Amino acid sequence: MIYDTMKNLKNYFSLNPAFEVIAKFVEENDMKALECGSYEVAEGIKVGIDEYQPENGGDFEAHRDFHDLQYAIVGGEYIDVLPLEFAKDSTGYKPDIEFFKGQTAEASRIALEEGTFVFLAPQDTHKPCIKMNSDTIKKAVFKIKI
């Protein structure tokens, strides 16, 4: 997991070549004006733009085929993050997502505030959509094919 501000994404270019592609996409697009929906960014990288009201989160989730880079464009939410080995009670794997109903350890809470991002790998189960201090969030979730 990496948690930082989007302006610092350039510091991680050496870790994953997709970071440079994502930084360029964010720089070249008015993210606040971008319509909600799904967009192809480059081969192996897509982004979903969504705006919603965070509530109580739901179940933890994990992905096998994609890394997530979640970026708060406007507003914010909490995301609880837990190592995969501490997630339990899987509801079964579906194409690139598995949900977990329980946990055997405390999760770490990330404050995904406007301008910040969190990069999540397959071993990082996460529970997004937890209400923080804003009523709505506009968020980009970049899916990076592994």
For Cα atoms 82, 41, 10, give the angle at the middle one, nearest 5 degrees. Answer: 65
List of the chain residues with pLDDT < 70: none
The pLDDT tens digits of the residues spanning 21-49 come to 999 999 999 999 999 999 999 999 999 99
pLDDT on residue 134: 83
Q: Which of 122, 47, 113 is nearest to 87 (CA)?
A: 122
pTM confidence score:
0.94
pLDDT on residue 96: 85
Residue 142 CB-half CA count within 13 A: 28
- The order of strands in the sheet holding 137-145 is 2-5, 116-120, 66-75, 137-145, 45-52, 37-42
Q: To which H or E segment does residue 19 belong? A: helix 17-28
Compute the distance between CA of residue 44 and CA of residue 26 in angstroms, rounded to an integer: 17
pLDDT on residue 95: 86
Q: Which of 7, 12, 32, 65 is nearest to 138 (CA)?
A: 32
Helix, strand, or coil (residue 10)? helix
| Tokens standing for residue 145 | 């094919």
pLDDT on residue 32: 97
**What would be the CATH architecture of the domain defined by 2-145?**
Sandwich (2.60)
